[in-house]
Structures are given as C-alpha cells and as structure tokens.
Structure 1
Amino acid sequence: MLVLLPPSETKAHGGDGPPLDLDALSFPELNPIRRKLADALVELAADVPASLAALGLSERQRAEVERNALLHSSPTIPALLRYTGVLYDALGASTFTGVERERARRRLAVASALFGVVRAGDPIPAYRLSGNSTMPGLGSLRPLWRPALEPLLADISADELVVDLRSGVYANLARVPEATTVRVVTEDSSGRRKTVSHHNKAHKGRLAAALATCATEPTRTEDVVAVARAAGLDCEQTGKTSVEIVTRS
C-alpha cells in the first residue's frame, strides 16, 4: 500500500542530514524534473521581488526565498518530519515506535511541487514552491509533472493499493484513476452532507497514521474503512474506490 499525503506550505527548519542529493531520493526517474525545478528555484531566488511574485509571497515572507537560495546546501531531514501543520500534527510521526516508523517509511509518500513525490524517509531540505505556482521560464507545474508522474503512479497502483489523500491542487498534477480517494464531510441534523475544510486535514492525518502503523497492511478499499473505524473515525465506503469520513454538526 502507498498512502499519498499532501505537502504543507509550512516546513520544519534546519536538519541534521547532508545537503540535497537527488540520487538519494526514491523514484529516480523523476530526477530530471526535480533538478530542473531546483536549479530554477535557486536562480530565481537571486531576484527577491521576482521570487515573491512567482511564489505568491508577501514581503514579510522573504525568508522563504532565502530558503530556496540555499536549496543545494542546506541540511535535510526525512520528508515526513520536514512538513508541518494540522495534518502532520495529527499524523504524529515523531511519536511512532521503531516498528511503526519502518512501516510508515514503506507505506507513506508525500506529493511535492518540487520533488513530484517522495517517500516518508527521503531526506529533503526546507523549500517553498506550491503546486499552483508558475515558474518563470518553465511555466505551470501540471504540464511539467503530469507526463512523468502519471505513469509512475499508474505503475504503483497496478501493483498495490494507493490511498490518495492529496488536496485538489496536488491531485491535479497527476491523476491516479484506480486510487482509493478519501473525502471528509459533515452531516447536519437532516442527514445532508457537504465537504468541509475545517476538519479535513486533521482527520486525514489521523487516517494516515492508522494506515501507516496498522499491523496488517490494507490491500482493498474495504480494508481502509476497517482501519479507519478501528482508529475511531466514522468512515463509510461510498463507491468502489471512494471513502467518506463523516463528522456531525
């Protein structure tokens, strides 16, 4: 099973690993695009106003441009510890036991505008690039990533269950038609349901933690539902490969 997580705009500082080595990352077939984007980000960082504009940042976020300038020399940490925020707080990777960390390294991957997709243990530096960014000289990221990412993810989904927890922007970079998708909804007193953003990240983080650490690895959408329920989530299968986590207002 591979669980595809969304990235986060916020990232942990520093690290104790060596500088970025693309050859140390999973899915080496993505390295030509990774290298092109990384070099473009470093070059763009030399022009701070242009970087702020291209990355959709404010003047108060100049430090993000400085991170990009040091992309090739700054320290790394495993991807699962680099990303921060609500989903990753709920995931709680720092609390995993040794056995759970090993399972998580095999089962979890993070979508990335810069790296395409990386496994949980891949060493990456802090950076700033969003899935909806347009890079000067390269254009938008979807036509750049889709020809490489879609065949890769299709090959993975042909061999194992893929659980897609990505947000819309990152799901748009590469489709995985056979993946099990997860939607977080709220149900009101009349039984009507609608997609919510408030609980979305936290519930997906809890589900990812359960899938990453469970003793028996899921192989079907039905197994995903069973694991979610065992973790205390109100979860239903709503289609052949679709799942809803239900909260109530």
Structure 2
Amino acid sequence: MLILLPPSEGKTQRRRGRRLDLGTLSFAELTSLREALIDRVGEVSARPDAHRLLAVSPNLVEEVARNTRLRTAATAPASEVYTGVLYDALDLGSLDAAAKRRANRRVIILSALFGAVRPTDRIPAYRLNPSAELPGVGDLTRAWRAVLASALEQAAGASGPIVDCRSSAYVAMWNPRGALGERRVQITVPGASHMAKHTRGLVARHLVQSAARPRHPEDLVEILADGFDVRLTEPERAGRSWQLAATART
C-alpha cells in the first residue's frame, strides 16, 4: 500500500541542523532534476519578479528569500518541515515505533522542489508551486511528470491499493494509469477544504497505525470502519480510480 500526500503550503524552518544532502533522499533517480531545480529556484528567487515565476503570493517575501539558501539552510525530516491541517491530524511524531516504520514505508509526499520524499527524508523549508514555469526548465509539473512515473510505479509494487490524499495540483505530477489506476483510491471528503485536509490526515494516520496489509481497495473499508463512516465506489470503466468517501466519527 502507498499513501500519497501533498506537501503543506506553510513549512517550518529549523534554525540548526545538517545541510541538504541530496544523496540521502529517497528515489535517487530524481537527483538530477532536484539538482537543477535547486540551482534554478535559487537564481529565480533573487529576482524582483520571483513571486510571478514561482507562482506564489507577492506577500511571501521571507519565504521566497529562503529559496536562495537551499544548499546551506538547516534541514529536518519532511514530516517536521510540512505543517498545517493535514499534518497536524496525521501527527507522525506521536505514533509508536512500529507505526512510524510503516509510515516511512507507506507514505510518499509529493513536492514541487524534490519530486517525492518519504517522511524521514531531511529537507529545508522552501516555497514553490507545481504550476510554476521556470526559465530553462519550463512547466514544472510537466518536468516532474516525465521522471516521477517510473520511480513511483516501482514504489507501488505489484499489488496493494494506492491511497491518494493529494490535491489536484499534485495529482497532475503523477496520475497512475492502466492497471495502477485501477488500484488507486481517491479519498474524498464532504464539506469545506479545512475539514477535507483534516480528515485525509486522520485517514493516513489510521492506515499507518494498522498492521493490516490490504491487497485490494475493498480491504480499506474494513480497516477504516472503526473510525470513519466510509463509502467505496468502484470505477465504471477500466483504468479509472476508486473513490472512497470518508467522514470521521466524533
């Protein structure tokens, strides 16, 4: 089973810690594009029109300035760098040792700068939108789509559901097709965006706390049944994704 998460918009910057070492990150096949992007994002972030090129708010002056120091800034595990509603609900730091190990095997976080990382990968805080078009790189989503497929297909393995908690911008970076698409389960949540993020975080937490090894999307219903009201919808056509509507019980 894979659990796909988006990054958070806000990120926590450590004051002290080891510098970025791309050689230690998961998915070594992404290193070449990561190297190129770190250099290009650093250059762009020093420009007066950085916010436009990075596709971020012009009010984020300090966060964009961080991008000029990506190679020298302190790093922290991705599970600590990413913050916000989903990650507060997931709360990886409070899990027991076995659940943390499962989280590091099962959870993959999509990133506009690093492509894909696991919770224990050490990264600095950064600010970048996957819809950015960078000089010399072009459309960022398209650039990642070209290299992420083989890495994530291998991570998905031959069986087990792909539980997708991502937002649409990060779905565009890798959208499983064919046989993999038939194993993908999109988590949908009725209501406002805040509640959707919170519930997806709770779903991800529940799945890493469980020692069960689901082989099929239908197995998720039993795993989640003790904490959520769930409804699983089978795709009407081959190659399409399943939909799992989840509402956390209070």
TM-score > 0.5, shorter chain as reference: yes
Listed one character per residue, the Cα deviations across residues 89-145 of structure 1 (whole Å, up to 9, x for unaligned) are: 111112112222122111111000111111111111100111111112211112211
User: Within 1, Cα distance between the matches of 2:110 and 2:158?
Assistant: 19
Partner of 1:239: 234
1:181 and 2:171 matched: no
Partner of 2:77: 78
For the residue of structure 1 that corresponds to 2:72, the secondary structure is coil
Aligned length: 238
**Conserved 8 A contact 1:78-1:121:** yes
- Between 1:99-108 and 1:232-241, the stretch displaced more is 232-241
After superposition, residues 122-201 of structure 1 pair within 5 angstroms as 122-161=121-160, 162-177=162-177, 178=180, 179-186=183-190, 197-201=193-197
Partner of 2:6: 6
Name the amino acid aligned to 1:126: A
What is the deviation of 1:247?
4.4
User: Within 1, Cα distance between the matches of 2:66 and 2:11?
Assistant: 11
**Conserved 8 A contact 1:211-1:218:** no
What is the deviation of 1:170?
0.6
- Structure 1 stretches of 4+ with a deviation exceeding 6 A read none
Name the amino acid aligned to 1:19: R
Q: Structure 1 residues 45 and 185, CA, compared in 2 at 3 Å: closer, same or farther? A: closer
For the residue of structure 2 that corresponds to 1:150, the secondary structure is helix
Percent same amino acid among aligned pairs? 38
For the residue of structure 2 that corresponds to 1:144, the secondary structure is helix
Tell me how large the CA RMSD over aligned residues is: 2.0
- Between 1:151-160 and 1:37-46, the stretch displaced more is 151-160
What is the deviation of 1:215?
1.9
- Between 1:7-16 and 1:21-30, the stretch displaced more is 7-16
Q: Structure 1 residues 197 and 140, CA, compared in 2 at 3 Å: closer, same or farther? A: same
For the residue of structure 2 that corresponds to 1:199, the secondary structure is helix
After superposition, residues 35-46 of structure 1 pair within 5 angstroms as 35-46=35-46
Name the amino acid aligned to 1:166: R
5+ residue gaps, structure 2: 236-240
- The TM-score with structure 1 as length reference comes to 0.88
What is the deviation of 1:199?
2.0
Listed one character per residue, the Cα deviations across residues 165-223 of structure 1 (whole Å, up to 9, x for unaligned) are: 1111111112112242223243xxxxxxxx75342111110000011121223332122
